[in-house]
Amino acid sequence: MSIKLKAITNPPSREELSNRLEKVRTLMKQQDLDYYISFNPVNIYYLTNFAFYVHERPFLLIIEKESSPKMLIPRLEKGHFESRARCELEFVIYYEFPARNGENWYDYYQKQIRTDATVGLESELPIGIANKTPGKIVVSDIVDETRIIKTDYEIGRIYHACRVVNKGHKVLFKKCRPKVLEFALYKEVTDAMMSKIVQDIPNANFRATQTTGAVWPPSISHDPHLIPHIFKEMEQGGPHVSIVSAQVDGYGVEIERTFFLGHVPEKAIKPFGVMFEARTLTYSMLKPGTIMSEVDKKVRNFIAERGYGDYIIHRTGHGLGITGHEAPFLAEGYDKPLEKNMVISVEPGIYIPGIGGFRHSDTVLITEEGFQKLTKAPETLEEVTISL
Amino acid sequence: MSIKLKAITNPPSREELSNRLEKVRTLMKQQDLDYYISFNPVNIYYLTNFAFYVHERPFLLIIEKESSPKMLIPRLEKGHFESRARCELEFVIYYEFPARNGENWYDYYQKQIRTDATVGLESELPIGIANKTPGKIVVSDIVDETRIIKTDYEIGRIYHACRVVNKGHKVLFKKCRPKVLEFALYKEVTDAMMSKIVQDIPNANFRATQTTGAVWPPSISHDPHLIPHIFKEMEQGGPHVSIVSAQVDGYGVEIERTFFLGHVPEKAIKPFGVMFEARTLTYSMLKPGTIMSEVDKKVRNFIAERGYGDYIIHRTGHGLGITGHEAPFLAEGYDKPLEKNMVISVEPGIYIPGIGGFRHSDTVLITEEGFQKLTKAPETLEEVTISL
């Protein structure tokens, strides 16, 4: 039974952000942390709505147990920060990197933290910053953990982002014909998505917006992380494998398809079928309570039984949210249960040198009763064989 | 006296990369390090020619004192890595993140390093990785240090990249008129640069290529790190401040100008002049041996004496190379001398709310006798006043 979702395009309310902060503070309490320091721009965006690139001038969010969080930023960024942040914050401003003796970022940073405190740090925090942190350090990925279960607001944003990639994928299938260049496809697909983003969210934050549209034609589709050459040509037959992904004003989603131009080579029929069944098997297990490593294990075993065990080169799926790749993971070694309002990709894949790659990926919401696909595009062998 | 430079567009030779590695090893020896671990994608690119984004699957370059460096990567990336890397390397391949017990990235990582060794780590290395590193840890930014002095090959690449931004800037000046939208300018300028890049370097690595073209019209030009709204209109008069920057197949450069459309408002004349003189003063000090913090100090004092001390919000310049922002810095607190074959930006700025921003920036090579500007565009008040 499918639930009714509503696409959301407006920025988060102060309430949404303060609820996220409260979740972080609940975990801080459980772990007896007096402070939590966030450095990862994705986590800072999640809590403040301010997006930036990491460079030599550090940006640090200092969360205390109770009073307003403090944002340590270079002076140059204050106006930018204020134009985007949508939560309560105090600023700690340093002038520049580097700066005169006694006026560097760490001089200001160290004044914010009691030396007898227990301080939680992200595992992504650079050791150069960790070494300047006062107090007793505990590494704990509290904000990352908070991000795993999506709020209703986030689900609405992700649902909207999926409409953007659905559109990109539609353009890709329309334009992808033998001899068409990678570069031309990239332009058409990303332009279509960017137009929709700008129309739907005129004030979109381009520091948190990015679009990709690419196809791995059959000669390289067995190697999914190779970057196709921009003058690479699409070919007759297949398997071609497409990636259409976007970060839409802060929300990352993807849709990927294996497809054929004109005809399906004989040797591609069986692996396509096995990939398709592996996918059906994955979906059959998606509901709250299923252990994620078990999904991956069963899917791998299924593919191996069908003779393609040597051609599995990645996990069955990964989480999506503020980024297009994050916890949770449908992977052996990740022994936690699926929960309602997680968003994951479902993408078991088979990659056979000499034949090609076989992978569909969708962005999928875990619901109370099971799952709901948020992306939509042709799926069956018949549907993904484009007649010329 | 200007030296003759030659634009280079081909990828680095194995010899170029092995020379860079030797410089790193020389510093390792001086600091008594048995291993050096690089995590920063920029540093790994510098030493291998392989570019990637950081995500949850770690990529680590493990440099020993003598034998080939080892590259720890997820299996999925092997083909991609081999298609780009141009140096001697051994691979250490792990399957996925996360993985089954005993098969995670750190299980493989820890086997590469002797527990009695002294191990150098970048200050940017995440604490989650530092905590998994065997041996005695020393934080030292050896690769960053090596990157400060450019090789002849790099200077040729940077010179080529400057031609790309020169072209982008020319288009910007041609298209920038009152009422033109930010979005339209961005498209025109970045398309022009991207076309040149693709023509000059058909096999450019798009993981290390990026272009930006933007203008801060007078209503926001006092706040240089605010991101202009895409529907922002260009205005009559000024000061407008433009940024044209690019990372061209791995080399980052910039050119920025303060300019006026139709007329120069009376109140902009003096600050423009002071900025211009501050710039002349900066250039007069650029030669090997000058202490960089001294340049910044003298320039600030000069601007302050002219009455604009409260309107300085950033340092006088920064290094460029693989990135558009890196050491060395023309900044108080950075007490090292300029050396031949450093590449820096020269961009003293004045930002007055209600009047606007005043900053020209060029990408500049330090030569034996002084300096050579690598970017080229109109400079004087007359030249930057565009008649309508």
Q: How close is the nearest chain A Cα to the Cα of B175, in Å? A: 21
pLDDT for res B2: 82
A residues 148..207 contacting B (CB < 8 A): 183, 198, 202-207
Chain B residue with minimum CA distance to A349: B76
A residues 292..321 contacting B (CB < 8 A): 313-315, 318
In terms of phi and psi (left: phi > 0; alpha: psi -120 to 50; beta: otherwise), the region of A354 is left
pTM: 0.95
pLDDT for res B339: 98
Does B237 contact A at CB distance below 8 Å?
no
Does B287 contact A at CB distance below 8 Å?
no
Chain B residue with minimum CA distance to A328: B98
Residues of B within 8 A of A131 (CB-CB) are 123, 139
- CATH code, B14-147: 3.40.350.10
Angle of CA points A325, A326, A332, to nearest 5°? 100
**B319 with B344: CB under 8 angstroms?**
yes
Q: Which amino acid is at B260?
A: F
For residues A130-157, average pLDDT? 98
Q: Which residues have CB under 8 Å from B244's CB, separation 6+?
A: B165, B168, B169, B172, B189, B193, B212, B213, B254, B255, B256
One-character DSSP codes across B254-312: EEEEEEEES---HHHHHHHHHHHHHHHHHHHH-STT-BHHHHHHHHHHHHHHTT-GGG-
For domain A14-146, give the fold.
Answer: Creatine Amidinohydrolase; Chain A, domain 1 (3.40.350)
**B57 with B105: CB under 8 angstroms?**
yes
Q: How close is the nearest chain A Cα to the Cα of B224, in Å? A: 7
pLDDT for res B1: 63
Q: Which residue out of A84, A210, A225 would a mutagenesis test of the B interface target, given it has the greatest number of B Cβ atoms within 10 Å?
A: A225
Q: How close is the nearest chain A Cα to the Cα of B262, in Å? A: 28
Query: Residue B144: pLDDT band by 50, 70, 90 thresholds?
Result: very high
User: Alpha-carbon distance B301 to B319, whole Å?
Assistant: 22
Indicate if A152-386 has the same CATH topology as A14-146: no
One-character DSSP codes across A201-247: -TT--GGG-EEEEEEE-TTTTT-TTSPPPTTPBP-SEEEEEEEEEEE
Q: How close is the nearest chain A Cα to the Cα of B21, in Å? A: 23
- How far apart, in Å, are the Cα atoms of A11 and each of A202, A205, A250? 11, 10, 10
Question: What mean pLDDT is reported for chain B?
Answer: 96
Residues of A within 8 A of B121 (CB-CB) are 127
Query: Residue A385: pLDDT band by 50, 70, 90 thresholds?
Result: very high
Both tokens of A295, joined, read 């999904």
Helix axis angle for A292-305 and A266-285, nearest 10°, is 150
- A204-208, B120-124, B373-377: segment of lowest average pLDDT: A204-208
Does B96 contact A at CB distance below 8 Å?
yes
Query: What are B220-279's pLDDT values in tens digits?
Result: 999 998 888 889 999 999 999 999 999 999 999 999 999 999 999 999 999 999 999 999
Q: Which amino acid is at A127?
A: I
pLDDT for res A1: 63
pLDDT for res B50: 95
Specify the CATH number for B152-386; select among 3.40.605.10, 3.90.230.10, 3.40.50.300, 3.30.70.20.
3.90.230.10
Query: What are A230-257's pLDDT values in tens digits?
Result: 899 999 999 999 999 999 999 999 999 9
Q: Which residue out of A38, A50, A56, A82 would a mutagenesis test of the B interface target, given it has the greatest number of B Cβ atoms within 10 Å?
A: A56
Q: Which amino acid is at B339?
A: E
- A172-176, A322-326, B117-121, B174-178: segment of lowest average pLDDT: A322-326
Residues of B within 8 A of A55 (CB-CB) are 325
User: Alpha-carbon distance A145 to A342, whole Å?
Assistant: 11
Instruction: Select the residue of A122, A231, A333 nearest B101 (Cβ to Cβ).
Output: A333
Does A111 contact B at CB distance below 8 Å?
no
In terms of phi and psi (left: phi > 0; alpha: psi -120 to 50; beta: otherwise), the region of B322 is alpha
Query: What are A100-127's pLDDT values in tens digits?
Result: 999 999 999 999 999 999 999 999 999 9
Share of chain B above pLDDT 90, in %: 94
Share of chain A above pLDDT 90, in %: 94
Chain B residue with minimum CA distance to A329: B98
For residues A274-295, average pLDDT? 98
Chain A residue with minimum CA distance to B334: A98
Query: Residue A53: pLDDT band by 50, 70, 90 thresholds?
Result: confident
For residues B322-347, average pLDDT? 97
Adjacent-strand bridge partners of A345: A363
Residue A78 has pLDDT above 70, yes or no: yes
- Residue given tokens 């279509």 in the structure block: A192
Chain A residue with minimum CA distance to B206: A227
Does A1 contact B at CB distance below 8 Å?
no
For residues B115-119, average pLDDT? 97
Query: What are A187-223's pLDDT values in tens digits?
Result: 999 999 999 999 999 999 989 999 999 999 999 999 9
Q: How close is the nearest chain B Cα to the Cα of A79, in Å? A: 6
For residues B6-26, average pLDDT? 97
**A371 with A364: CB under 8 angstroms?**
yes
User: Alpha-carbon distance B87 to B12, whole Å?
Assistant: 9
Residues of B within 8 A of A318 (CB-CB) are 56
Q: Where are the domains of chain A?
A: 14-146, 152-386
ipTM: 0.94
